Structure 1
Amino acid sequence: MASYTFELFASYNKKAGLRLKNANARMFGLDISMEFNEEDGHWRVTMDLPDGIYHYQYKVVTKSWFEPEPESALPEYNNDETKTSEENEQIQTDLRNEHDKLVEEVKERNKKREEEITFTEVWYTFVDPYATEVDERGSDDPFRSVGVLIFKNGRKIVDEYEWKYDNHVPLVPNEKLIIYELHVGDFEDKFVNLTAKMDYFVQ
């Protein structure tokens, strides 16, 4: 079991979440809430994960879903010379009342939407920009990629290749190393031509 913290910087988003699933299980990802830290603007959640391969994505609520409020300035009105001053004042009053009513209606709609918002509504899902491995085929949404996490023996691994000889073959000390810098283009762009000259370089 490995303890792993998922972390996302999204200081201007009202809510953020994690979608996580076992890559070998035939199931949709689980949506998990994340906690916001106001001091550094990061969302985080820590989980204990058994060994295995996991696919994950982040989710945030965007502000673009809410309806923009009308400008606070009143509509410009020029007095109509064919009307009396009382009539012009009444027209301005009607315009002001109509504008105030429109502003309140928009505020009320936004307030209602905010109260009705759920975890699966108006969320934008995306791959972790810092993922060390990405799979374009592992998402519930065919148009979204997923980050890949691999845990083995209780720790995260980036490379599945198991090095076999590090503990058995002594490495040459740095001061005894001889480093060749070669350009494959000098060997007709073929590695086979380069490897054929290895005995020469060793000498």
Structure 2
Amino acid sequence: MISRIAILALGLGIAQGASAQSVTLTVKDGRALVVGGETLLGANLAATDLDGAAIVAEFGRLCADPETVGDRVASSPLRLSEADAVFPAEGKQGEARVKQWRGSAATVSVWTGDDANLKNRAITMPSRAGATTGPYGPFRASGKQCNLVFGVRDFASVAPIIEALRTTYGEPGKLVVKNTFADGFWAVSTGGVSARVNLNAPTTRNGPQPVHLSMQMVEPATK
């Protein structure tokens, strides 16, 4: 059953059943989807040394084409190492593997559309001042995508990131910025394909502020 976690749980950093195999993806409406046990976005990430303009530029470079991210990781200033998220077989459900790279201040994951063996895995969707939990299925990744999750010093550090997103991608399709959270999206084209750049910076109280950026290919409307 889908449940709602109060802001207090986020602030205290509660992570029931936390797993090193957790990976962050993006659902259809652009929200972050943490699969595998973590209940916080960007758990255990330090704050990056890159400023807002530099982190947005690196996001654009890495995620311009989700299918070829691996070709660009080695030269990243985020110092990322390959660390695929591997979810073991459970009963009749086979092993699931999601391409991922990790560094001390950031993670990058790539989604190409195969979620056959993620059904019923634990998920959390941290958004604004709360989080939705449940099994994978009612909420699922959508569209080929590249996800960058990183830490910044505090919520005030999100403002330069938003400014850099505006400079790079123009005016957002939607942007909500409050005292402790921000989220929104930009409609873009990458390689001639329609896509969305999504931003999610949920409320947090302890440690670095987590930020989720994703490049999500827009799936054609079904007839």
Per the TM superposition, whether the score is higher than 0.5 is no
Q: Taking structure 2 as the reference length, what is the TM-score of the superposition?
A: 0.19
Q: Greater share of strand residues, 1 or 2?
A: 2
Q: Greater share of helix residues, 1 or 2?
A: 1
Q: Taking structure 1 as the reference length, what is the TM-score of the superposition?
A: 0.20
